[in-house]
Structure 1
Amino acid sequence: MKLLKYLLLASTAIGLLGCAGNARDVKLTKGESIVQYADQVEIKYLGAGGHLIRRGKDVLMTAPFFSNPSMLEQLLPAKVKPDLIEAGLPDISDVEMVLVGHSHYDHTMDLPYIAKKRAPKAVFYGSKTMKHLLAPGIERSRLVDMNDLSTSGQVPGEWVYAKNRAFRFMPLESDHAPHLMGMKVVSSAKLSADLKTLPTFTRNYPEGEVFAYLIDFLNPDGKIAFRIYYQDTASSPGLGHIPDFDPIDQAPVDVAILCVGSFNQVKDYPEHILRMAKPKFVIAGHWEDFFRPQSGPIAVVPFASLDDFMRRVRAASQAGVKVPEPGTVMAYRVTNPDLNRATANTTVQP
């Protein structure tokens, strides 16, 4: 029955792929930088849920995806495409921490290759399901289960610090929007034991437990210099929220990275996140069609209106909002943490 449901939904999706919006109709963020700041956070959009986030020499990454199998390829055994990974991924040899929001194929399938070939020092942080899922492809010592460290409702979780304590992050309890017509097309399962082999088909990569993340870059005195809110999937009202912190951990959100894919499959998204986080800037992530390679014409992810997403963000928030092409770097100025004001600029790196 699960396979039949998948095939029916997949055939419907293939028939509707013409609904994918053309990116030529959307104002994308790209172009050369005019100003560079003495102290800045750079966020490079890698495509799908992937972002390379850097302040000086301090860097972390959210899980990227480049293999981008077509809708028809979804019916065949999953195939990692090293040529597409190499074409889209910059130098990440200094990345030591990779955040994974959930375990579907478009967030985890490329990670074993990346761990082995491109990020030899990286440790991957995500759910218990992620750890069991990736155990056949990445050493277990490099997989960290965050289930017991996440928030629960408004109760804070635990901070995880970089080795030099230059930044930290906290997983936030969240959930995953349906994919199409209120239904989930791929597995929403959770794993309780290590897999012996990686899944054969993309649809068998389980969703697992779902997290948003709060990321703080810190000054040498430990004060919060810059705060980022990150999601790789739209969430239901009340989930993916920042908890009630003690005053020492309170700070405004400078940048919120939100998810365009399936945003219209849950109520009040992105509005409930914008009301909660009150960010100064918004980045639209996971917005482009990941059923085609990045090297081809860019289109909007099927079944989601990027125009509608942008209208709703602007109606709910005064934040500046950007839709970056893959490869675009957005630079945000870090100022005195007591003022905690951010200003933004954009550059494109090869």
Structure 2
Amino acid sequence: MIVFPTGVRRLVPTKRATGTRLSVLLALLSLVLSGCRYMRTGDPAVLRPTAPGEVHLVDVCKRQCTDSADVVAAGVDGFLIMPWADTTQLVMTAPSFTNPTIWWMTFGDWLLGTRPDTARITRRLNAMPAANASRLARVGALLVGHGHYDHLMDVPPLLPRMPDARVFGSSTVINLLAPVAAAEPRRVSVDSIAARDARHGVTAYDVGPALRVRAMAWEHAPNIGGLTVAPGDQRTPRRTLPRTVFGWKKGAVYAYAVDILQRDGTAGLRLFFHDAAAGPEVQRRAGEIVAGLPSTRTTVVIAVAANFDQLPLYPDILLAHLAPDHVILGHWDDFFRSSEKPERVVRGIDARELVRRLAPYVGTHWNAPRAGAITRIRW
């Protein structure tokens, strides 16, 4: 930080921050020019995507179905969670619609900056009846796993549509959103309440009578060849939103267990949500934390396709610990491509290898929803 003669403080990039950003920009440029695997998108057919408006039924009823919940895909790793026992309070994970391209990230972002595409956000939401205005207005908790632009940048223009939503995330997330007046009274830092391992208690937050949320420590796999885009923390509240995608710092990373409660207060369905791939030890600790929670009839994991192979044994260890009934794939679509174009598989991953990794744990009990698709879970 530099103090100028006028007494006005201005933040200037540190050598470390500038060096990291330059390294990532050079990596992006080399990828653009080389055409390596990080630049190639894949045919989504191998993932058998659930089409917008289509319902993928997950029926795990033992004898007779007593309850159900809809999980609506809402862009990259955004999901709207709706328990049908009580639809007055809903939970959502942070969606993304703006999707700046690789070319823009490499050249345009540096010169002109990147802002949420509010017109595109409106068009995309209008194209998803299952995430209509009435349902967004009933969101009581918006869960953010980390502060990167593809998870947080589109949140500010979405918050007015969710007037009752509390935003859960790291202190970095809270500080990044500081300039957003609509977020001011309802930002919840999970740094002090998230579980770190099974030896410590897990703080629960009730979102209405049918939903309960718990946070736990997680991590973020490298993005490009061992590098992580926008690492580090936002340690002080910002006065303005970041100008470029690199200003949306990662911060601490969290996963969330979202319990849908039955009338007797027990969990009928537990959704384990995370928005980044993690390494073996973090997966193991999360599995032990979940094992210490009250039992549930049904478990569904929302797993991440992006960068799944950048750390070993993901999602193998997590699935081995949680033994889910079903896996929903998130972050599988290419978020460097307009969200209004037909989806392609996110760059740099082998979708067939991901399917092979899922098979020993859930067989064919998984789906990859497009934005607007519904995964209906009955138990």
Aligned to 2:69: 41
Letter in 2 for 1:114: L
Letter in 2 for 1:328: A
Letter in 2 for 1:70: T
Report the CA distance shift for 1:47/1:13 in structure 2 as closer, same or farther (over 3 A).
Answer: farther
- For the residue of structure 2 that corresponds to 1:147, the secondary structure is coil
* RCO comparison, higher one (Cα < 8 Å, 6+): 2
Aligned to 2:117: 81
- For the residue of structure 2 that corresponds to 1:239, the secondary structure is helix
Aligned to 2:304: 259
Letter in 2 for 1:61: M
Q: Note the 1:41-190 alignment, pairs <5 A.
A: 41-56=69-84, 57=87, 58-74=89-105, 75=107, 76=109, 77-89=113-125, 90-91=131-132, 92-116=136-160, 118-137=161-180, 138-154=182-198, 155-162=200-207, 164-184=208-228, 186-190=229-233
Aligned to 2:12: none
- Any idea what the Cα deviations from partners look like across 1:301-327, whole Å, max 9, x if unmatched? 111111111111113444611111221
What is the deviation of 1:250?
Answer: 2.7
Confirm or deny: 8 A CA contact 1:229 1:253 kept in the other structure: no
Letter in 2 for 1:199: P
Q: C-alpha distance in 2, partners of 1:102/1:252?
A: 29
Q: C-alpha distance in 1, partners of 2:50/2:349?
A: 19
Confirm or deny: 8 A CA contact 1:23 1:299 kept in the other structure: yes
Contiguous gaps of at least 5 residues in structure 1: 335-350
Aligned to 2:13: none
2:274 to 206, 212, 231: 231
Q: C-alpha distance in 2, partners of 1:166/1:139?
A: 24
Confirm or deny: 8 A CA contact 1:279 1:319 kept in the other structure: no
Aligned to 2:248: 205
- For the residue of structure 1 that corresponds to 2:281, the secondary structure is coil
Letter in 2 for 1:48: V
Contiguous gaps of at least 5 residues in structure 2: 1-18, 60-64, 126-130
Letter in 2 for 1:267: P
Comparing 70-79 and 107-116, the one that deviates more: 70-79
Aligned to 1:342: none
Letter in 1 for 2:340: S
Identity of aligned residues (%): 28
Report the CA distance shift for 1:29/1:221 in structure 2 as closer, same or farther (over 3 A).
Answer: same
Comparing 50-59 and 283-292, the one that deviates more: 50-59
Aligned to 1:311: 356
Confirm or deny: 8 A CA contact 2:325 2:365 kept in the other structure: yes
Is 1:332 matched up with 2:377? yes
- For the residue of structure 2 that corresponds to 1:287, the secondary structure is coil
Confirm or deny: 8 A CA contact 1:259 1:286 kept in the other structure: yes
Aligned to 1:340: none
RMSD: 2.1
What is the deviation of 1:166?
Answer: 1.5
Letter in 1 for 2:268: A
Query: TM-score normalised to the size of structure 1?
Result: 0.89
- Any idea what the Cα deviations from partners look like across 1:257-297, whole Å, max 9, x if unmatched? 00000001001001011111110000111000001112112
Q: C-alpha distance in 2, partners of 1:280/1:182?
A: 33
Of Structure 1 and Structure 2, the greater helix share is in 2
Please say which structure displays the higher CA radius of gyration.
2
